[in-house]
Amino acid sequence: MMRLSQSPTDPAFVQDPYPFYDRLRAAGDLAHWNDYGLICASSHRAVQALLRDRRFGREIPAEMAQPVPEHLAPFYAIEAHSMLELEPPRHTRLRGLVLRAFTSRRIAGLGPEIATLAHGLIDAFPEGPFDLLPAFCQPIPVIVIARLLGVPDSLAPQLLDWSNAMVAMYQARRTRAIEDAAAAAAAEFSSFLRDYIGDRRKAPRDDLLSQLIAAEESGDRLSTDELIATCILLLNAGHEATVHTFGNGIKTLLETGHGITADNAAPVAEELLRHDPPLHLFTRYAYEEAEVFGHVFQRGERVALLLGAAGRDPEVYADPARFDPAREAPAHHAFGGGPHFCVGAPLARLELQTALPILFERCPTLRLAETPRYADLYHFHGLERLTVET
């Protein structure tokens, strides 16, 4: 197996990781990324196969679990109940209960609210050049999640601060200072939600949090710790990825001269997700000896699934670096796949397909005021800022 080196914090890689993915893919379905010490799946077929292979999963094998460092205890206390980090039977139970509350009908009903929110943000755009990320891309996902959970809009900035501190734990630039900030945010976020959940248990409302509390199957319900972890997961995964998708997508549309309307919103949004997705790397553990694409994984061995590379596989997508909303090709993997397929995918799609056409209809002369730059966030992939003029 070929071994390749590439620092994930190297400025050139941060701005454009796709040439390195091409090198990995040229080495075969699997190659070793030295800087991570991981075997990586970079082809579309390898990523797709491993996402669905039940011999691999997110949860660390029990015999490999290490004691949690004391300073990170608040962070991992939440991770211990997060369905993103669990496998069956706990994952099956949690996901089933969450889906009973997070229904397609509830999500679809948010369309008019997202549209009103988008119009209000556009009405507040300043004169001259401004950063579209805090003006448009960030508020929509975080306010929508806050409203779903029944949290006032005024608390959205605080939720965003907690979320940003926590998701930094997954980035290659992680330091002790980032760990301390994440642990503090986890403790504060958890305490806030514990009180909020207590209030909702006493006085349910017509919101997702009340629905999650009431969700039941054969007498089984979510515990308070599970409710806290689920709410944090919905915010962290939902807002982080969707903000990056908004920013990357608007950048792509402005650079390529493509528009987006209510009529073509669905195919344009899917091509944006394929072309420049918000999450590029996701890991799995092998649960047994498993031969995959010529390599024999041992129990406990990790593999990295490069979602960003799979979407640029020339075996599947002709001229993959070209943004083409009319492209007819297999589905992308921006939302993952298999048992861990993103629970929030329908909401993310609705936000993109509702808000982006409104932005481009209301701001027909929208243009880039400076060259966009990506932030040092890997394994996420999103912009540092998006300075535009209307």
pLDDT in tens, 142-161: 999 999 889 998 998 999 99
Token digits of residue 227: 């409710």
Q: What percent of the chain has pLDDT over 90?
A: 91
Enumerate long-range contacts of 193-200, CB under 8 Å, 24 or more apart: 193/227, 193/228, 193/231, 193/232, 194/224, 194/228, 196/149, 196/150, 196/151, 197/224, 197/227, 197/228, 200/150
Query: What is the amino acid identity at position 297?
Result: F
- The rounded mean pLDDT for the chain is 95
Give me the pLDDT at residue 216, please. 82
Residue 383 has pLDDT above 80, yes or no: yes
| CB 276 within 8 Å of CB 381 | yes
Segment 193-219, tens digit of pLDDT? 999 999 999 999 989 999 999 998 778
CA gap 299, 55 in Å, rounded: 9
Is the CA virtual torsion 193, 195, 198, 199 positive or negative? negative
**Hey, what domains does the chain have and what are their CATH numbers?**
3-389 (1.10.630.10)
CA gap 201, 71 in Å, rounded: 31
Residue 23 has pLDDT above 80, yes or no: yes
The distance from CA 236 to its chain's CA centroid, rounded to whole angstroms, is 8
* Pairing verdict, β 56-57 and 38-41: unpaired
Residue 295 has pLDDT above 80, yes or no: yes
Residue 237 has pLDDT above 90, yes or no: no
**Residues pairing with 130 in the sheet:** 388
* Pairing verdict, β 30-33 and 3-4: parallel
Token digits of residue 390: 């209307």
Segment 334-368, tens digit of pLDDT? 999 999 999 999 999 999 999 999 999 999 999 99
Dihedral pair phi/psi, residue 218, rounded to 5°: 55, 40
Residue 382 has pLDDT above 90, yes or no: yes
CA gap 169, 151 in Å, rounded: 25
